Structure 1
Amino acid sequence: MSYKVRFWEIRERTGRQKGFEVRWTVSGHEKSESFKTKGLAESRRAKLMTAARDGDRSPPGPACPPPNSAP
């Protein structure tokens, strides 16, 4: 089992209702979430980074399943 997580900078998406995107990979699988404000995107990115640093296999949130969920 791998805990290899990589984060990108927050990307601004002009012309979109949710104009800021948080992107990361978990074991080579790309994930992303979009937010209306940069502040919300920064907050989510910080939570994901903390979860990764603490060794959580699947940080909580809509783009990641709960740690004990069945496929």
Structure 2
Amino acid sequence: MAQSIAPAAADVPAIAPISLKAVAPWALFVGMLMLVLLYFVGAEQGATALLSGEQVHEWVHDGRHLLGFPCH
């Protein structure tokens, strides 16, 4: 029973680490997208409204309450 059924370590290819230069643009994009979504859910009404009407408010109404933003 001295035999092992696991492959030798030399058979497993090495995984190269992901560089910060490769991740930074995606992290910036996702961060900006999250800020835009947070604005539309939390502040798109009243004095800071970018769009007129109540369409955005109605689309994000339940999400607004779920995140704790008062709206009425």
Query: How does the TM-score come out when normalised to structure 1?
Result: 0.28
Between the two structures, name the one with larger relative contact order (CA 8 Å, sep ≥ 6).
1
Higher strand share: 1
Bigger proportion of residues as helix: 2
Query: Higher Cα Rg: structure 1 or 2?
Result: 2
Q: TM-score, normalised by structure 2?
A: 0.28
